[in-house]
Structure 1
Amino acid sequence: MHISNTDPSTENFITVNSSDKMTVLFGPNRPDLLRHEVLGQIFIRTALQYPNKVALLWQNEKITYYQLYQQAMEMAIILYRTRHVGPGSIVGIRLSRSAQLHVTILAVLFTGACYAPFDADAPDERVIAVLADIEATLLLVDSQTSMNHSLVVDIETLKKHTISDHIHLSLNIDPKSIAYIICTSGSTGKPKAIAITHSNICHFIRADNEIMKITKDDIVYQGFSAAFDGFFVETFAAYLVGATLAIPSKSDLLNTDRIHVFLIDHAVTVLSTVPTLLLLINNDPALRLRLINVGGESCPQAVVDRWWKEDRRIINQYGPSETTVAATTSLLYPGEQISIGAPLPNYVCCLLDEETGQPTTASTGELCIRGPGMALGYFRNNSLTKQKFTEYGYRTGDRVTFDQGRIYFHKRIDSQVKIRGFRIELTEIEEELLKLHGDVQSAAVAFLNGQLVAFILGQLNETTMRTELGKRLPRYMIPNRLIHVKGAIPRMASGKIDRKALSALFVDESKKMSTHETRIDIGELIERDFVQRRPRRSLRQERIIILSLS
């Protein structure tokens, strides 16, 4: 069925509901986006086309595309000559936010090696474990991120080498080779290393910009950590067309008022971010944002209502890292049901039965994604790769519904918690808290020590919380504790809520409470333990708003 819609993310999408096979959504057929190229080539073409265009705005520096190319190529030659970095090498990068980070990433790509990015604040133990797991060649660091390890090479040491002859590396790099390895949290506690090829990421950048429509005249905010694949939505989307990247410092990122000022001072036109950040920033008329791209977590309707304008688009992107950054996209409008949209060009989404993993003709099931963005798999983990990368595509573990060419997210299939016989989705409680946006700027809920604990940034008090949530949720879904967070809800490099940090906050708050301060609602306990178990209400369609990129 042809889907006619003013939203370009669903234009020309076909829905196939086969009575004997499976339920499928196809992205637009765009063979012109499938090219024999590598990531470094995308940048080089732009640098040749717009050599004097500003590529990076970093503090008081303006670095042109030619200057960035020159610096990156010089470092690539140094890496190639002095460290024998080339095709087949795996280079860890753990650098502070700076222009040098961007130079280094390009340099490694120019050598034909693949890189593994680490957040500057990642624990040393985690970095060491990943380096061993992926058998890295070396780890590039700076003075702020250095650590004691045999693979460590300080970037300043490399820069001391000089290149006497102005030569360029001319290496045969296979588009099917690995461009980068990105790590996400694993259910076993051990990070999963995902291998993304040049073909994967180059196609994504081109396909995604069919929706984003970034141009050389845009100024793109670069806020994501290099260890999060949202980094590519910002960085290489800009490199593709010759746009300018505006890079805030770490101190800017830690203060929402400073982010607000940065966006205005740098005349930023394109912002990619997690939705909750938008609840903390003032929607100032002085902002020049024409495009807001949200991803990485749930997008409350309040974000759309607050930020949408006639001359500003808000795009919702969804996709696990295993399918290269994002696989579906949707334009968001005030008052409209939020969906994760439809597949990007050349992607295919289908539904599997949650129990059997086999194709289903139902409209609801486990989302499975295939196409040119599907990763090679988990690096040196064949058993997990075979489990998740099937003949039908990558099994996301997400329950969704296909409805008239759009995909609506329900929940993680395995993300429930169970309290006294009741299965509870923590995200449902979080979303209800965020609806109290007059008193709640940001919220997270965790199940700790046998009780539900709400963490909020805002003025909400416990009495109001219980009263207001009691209007919308069963009593067994109302948090036992309310903890006010100073500054911001703790988040990981990906922008997702840091559950471990919430646990630490809970422990700290518990130590402050004396025994006589602990209140027990006897009536609530009786209701939770002995009330007749009512069937849990169905999930409302307006709740379909998560965007997990990992």
Structure 2
Amino acid sequence: MNKDKWTKGEIEENTVYGLFKKTVSSYPKQSALIDSSQTFTYEQLESIVCEIAASLPQQKQRFGIILDHGYRQIASMLAVLKNASAYVPAEPFLPDRRIQYMFSESKVRYVLTQKKYRKRIEKMGFLPILIDELSFRLKIDDTLLTTENYALPLDLAYILYTSGSTGKPKGVMVTNSNICHYIRAFRHEFHPGLNDRMLQYSVCSFDIFTEEVFTTLCSGACLVIAPESIKDDIEELMKFVKKHQITEIDSFPYLFLKMNDLPEIPDCIRLLISGGDVIRESYIDKLVNDKDHPMIYNTYGPSETTVCASYFHIRPHTALSDGTYPIGHSVLDTQIELVNKDGQLCQIGEPGEILIYGDGVSAGYSGNRPKESLAFFMDHLNRKGYRSGDLG
């Protein structure tokens, strides 16, 4: 996707705020977000987004976000996107040194935050914008549905930093178009609807967070934010899931291993999505063999390709001989190829490096990283690709 001019319809379909605004217009009274038993409709959430956006000093900037999980955090991200800017998320529990590195490399000046983190952010040399000092009157009027979306599809949406296990953390630059591609892929496979409720469980520095939040709020479903106090207690978490009738859970396989050990799980759950690590048959043997089990998926995809590049629908007796599951088929508008050490396409049964092509391939890395950036390329068919370094 490389254009100089965009139609109004293309901007609406290929920017996150454009899709969210379209959802607000279609379902203004629908529940959009539940936080600490407080429910916000789509039009109420949009009102908060507009108030935060109005407080931002500039457009086309990169804003840091250090906020506790809750409606303010979600609304702040949407406000930054409405502003045609990009956000760099950081969990408050991260060391100051890491946060300072991430924000400095990505050229952050302002940080959306709350009063209790103000001094810490100022000490790091950044300017705080205190979201918890805004009034959030939730006033609904006709101006909501005509508020401007300043973003374009190729504008950056966020910069997500990797763990840095092989050196300094790398900031993956993801565009609005990349995220909207993934929203379409998610809809195509999982069909989220007005009756769906997605658990917001992941930290904001994992791309699972993107899958939880934006596929939900751009599809008319409801995002339910789990309190930090119950995240490590599987029984309390399942009580929360049952109370709020959550239908979709997206997480690392270890959460599903804990669920597998329970006598039963809430019957409201229709979809479990595992990603970020290998899932083994022993982790979910009871879940997958229960005749009333939810749909369970294994997914694969580095952050450089915007969440998932492939899906595998797990059913009984579909594990491989080593007890793990395949990574499945490529998601909508994505192609996956395996190549050998000579760069030639592998034959069936031959191992090779996984190459990923499609609209999910991100804009590359933040900062000056010429060596790492060689993983991104254009092939002879003019497809944007990413060399994963993984074998398939």
Residue 343 (structure 1) aligned with residue 330 (structure 2): yes
Deviations 1:480-529 (A, max 9, x none): xxxxxxxxxxxxxxxxxxxxxxxxxxxxxxxxxxxxxxxxxxxxxxxxxx
Matches within 5 A, 1:126-525: 126-146=98-118, 147=120, 148-156=123-131, 159=134, 169-281=147-259, 282=262, 284=264, 286-308=266-288, 309-311=290-292, 312-337=294-319, 338-354=325-341, 356=342, 358-362=343-347, 363-392=350-379, 393-400=385-392
Deviations 1:207-255 (A, max 9, x none): 1221122111111111011211111211111112211111111111132
Q: Secondary structure at the match of 2:338?
A: strand
Residue identity over aligned pairs, in percent, reads: 28
Deviation at 1:287, TM superposition (A): 3.3
Deviations 1:70-98 (A, max 9, x none): 1111110121xxx22x12x0001111111
Q: Secondary structure at the match of 2:33?
A: strand
2-structure distance, mates of 1:161, 1:293: 34
Deviation at 1:387, TM superposition (A): 1.9
Counterpart of 2:382 in structure 1 is none
Match of 1:70 among 39, 47, 57: 47
Q: Which amino acid in the other structure matches residue 159 of structure 1?
A: L
Does the aligned pair in 2 maintain the 1:111–1:169 contact within 8 Å? Answer: no
Q: Tell me the number of residue pairs that the alignment of Structure 1 and Structure 2 aligns.
A: 362
Counterpart of 1:114 in structure 2 is 86
Deviations 1:371-429 (A, max 9, x none): 110011111234035421133421111111xxxxxxxxxxxxxxxxxxxxxxxxxxxxx
**Structure 1 residues 186 and 33: alpha-carbon distance in aligned structure 2, compared to 1, 3 A threshold:** farther
Q: Which amino acid in the other structure matches residue 378 of structure 1?
A: Y
**Structure 1 residues 37 and 270: alpha-carbon distance in aligned structure 2, compared to 1, 3 A threshold:** same
Deviation at 1:160, TM superposition (A): 5.9
Which structure would you say has the larger Rg? 1
2-structure distance, mates of 1:161, 1:343: 42
Q: Which amino acid in the other structure matches residue 37 of structure 1?
A: N
**Structure 1 residues 361 and 284: alpha-carbon distance in aligned structure 2, compared to 1, 3 A threshold:** closer
Counterpart of 2:29 in structure 1 is 52
**Structure 1 residues 43 and 111: alpha-carbon distance in aligned structure 2, compared to 1, 3 A threshold:** same
Residue 95 (structure 1) aligned with residue 67 (structure 2): yes
Task: Specify every segment of 5 or more residues in structure 1 that has no aligned partner in the other structure, as ranges.
Answer: 1-31, 401-550
Does the aligned pair in 2 maintain the 1:94–1:140 contact within 8 Å? Answer: yes
Q: Secondary structure at the match of 1:364?
A: coil
Deviation at 1:199, TM superposition (A): 0.8
1-structure distance, mates of 2:227, 2:215: 20
Q: Which amino acid in the other structure matches residue 244 of structure 1?
A: C
Deviation at 1:284, TM superposition (A): 2.0
2-structure distance, mates of 1:55, 1:36: 19
When the two chains are superposed, the root-mean-square deviation of aligned CA atoms in Å is 2.5
Deviation at 1:286, TM superposition (A): 3.7
Q: Which amino acid in the other structure matches residue 45 of structure 2?
A: L
2-structure distance, mates of 1:366, 1:145: 43
1-structure distance, mates of 2:127, 2:286: 46
2-structure distance, mates of 1:60, 1:188: 41
**Structure 1 residues 268 and 140: alpha-carbon distance in aligned structure 2, compared to 1, 3 A threshold:** same
Deviations 1:340-361 (A, max 9, x none): 001111111112224x4x2233
**Structure 1 residues 303 and 230: alpha-carbon distance in aligned structure 2, compared to 1, 3 A threshold:** same
Deviation at 1:142, TM superposition (A): 1.8
1-structure distance, mates of 2:194, 2:138: 31
2-structure distance, mates of 1:236, 1:212: 14
Deviation at 1:155, TM superposition (A): 2.2
1-structure distance, mates of 2:273, 2:340: 31
Does the aligned pair in 1 maintain the 2:114–2:132 contact within 8 Å? Answer: no
Deviation at 1:314, TM superposition (A): 0.5
Counterpart of 1:424 in structure 2 is none
Does the aligned pair in 2 maintain the 1:378–1:384 contact within 8 Å? Answer: no
Q: Which amino acid in the other structure matches residue 78 of structure 2?
A: L
Does the aligned pair in 1 maintain the 2:199–2:225 contact within 8 Å? Answer: yes
Does the aligned pair in 2 maintain the 1:140–1:153 contact within 8 Å? Answer: yes
**Structure 1 residues 360 and 91: alpha-carbon distance in aligned structure 2, compared to 1, 3 A threshold:** same
Counterpart of 1:465 in structure 2 is none
Q: Secondary structure at the match of 2:69?
A: coil
Matches within 5 A, 1:31-46: 36-46=13-23
Does the aligned pair in 1 maintain the 2:250–2:272 contact within 8 Å? Answer: yes
